[in-house]
Amino acid sequence: MFLKLHSLIRTDGNLAGERLPYLSGEGLDAYSMMWSAARRAQFTPNTRSTALNCLIPMRLWSVISGVNVEREMVFGSCLSHEQVEDMLYYIGLKRKDLATLTIARPADLNRFLSACEPVSAGTENLRRIYINNYLMWLGSYGNLVLQKPGKLLTI
């Protein structure tokens, strides 16, 4: 799975020059773009770009683990505690290592993971903040669509 962050720049009108960050790649759905668009008034394009960039490790974990995060949060009951703990471990790793795991699983996964370089504490914290925000948004969106009460689970 190859994910890349792009920016579309408006060329006309009173918003000329405004950037619209978006993700491209295999297996993307509309949820991350709706989440980003919903924050257009709250965040600058750089902040939205950072937020989308922070979602990439979660998406890579989703591919590695076989968990469809959007489907679980919108139509399912929620991510389990085990899934959340697993995701928290993986989002602390560099994206290049996660991308390697999406292509081919090594024979000894534990050895590979122990050799992976972790991201800085600040980067991991930022990822947690934006992923938590995204998951809470997905849960509330699913609750609205399905008209069901939600349950709060923060990561």
Q: What is the pLDDT of residues 95-129, one digit of tens each?
A: 889 888 888 888 888 899 899 999 999 999 999 99
The domain containing residue 109 runs over which residues? 3-146
Higher pLDDT: 80 or 37? It is 80
- Reported confidence tier of residue 1, pLDDT bands at 50, 70, 90: very low
Residue 148 pLDDT: 56
Residue 121 lies in a domain: yes
Residue 132 lies in a domain: yes
pLDDT greater than 50 at residue 6: yes
Q: What is the pTM of this model?
A: 0.74
Residue 153 lies in a domain: no
Residue 105 pLDDT: 81
Residue 151 lies in a domain: no
* Cα(95)–Cα(103) distance, integer angstroms: 13
Residue 85 lies in a domain: yes
Share of the chain above pLDDT 90, in %: 20
Residue 37 lies in a domain: yes
The chain-wide mean pLDDT, for the chain, equals: 78
Q: What number is the average pLDDT over the span 64-76? A: 83
CB 64 within 8 A of CB 98: yes
Q: Which residues pair with 8 in a beta bridge?
A: 20
Give the end-to-end CA distance of the chain in Å, rounded to a whole number. Answer: 25
* Cα(116)–Cα(67) distance, integer angstroms: 22
**Tally of domains within the chain:** 1
Q: pLDDT (tens digit, 9 = 90+) per residue, 18-55?
A: 666 666 665 556 677 677 667 666 777 778 888 888 88
Residue 31 lies in a domain: yes
Closest by alpha carbon to 60, among 97, 22, 110, 113? 97
Residue 130 lies in a domain: yes
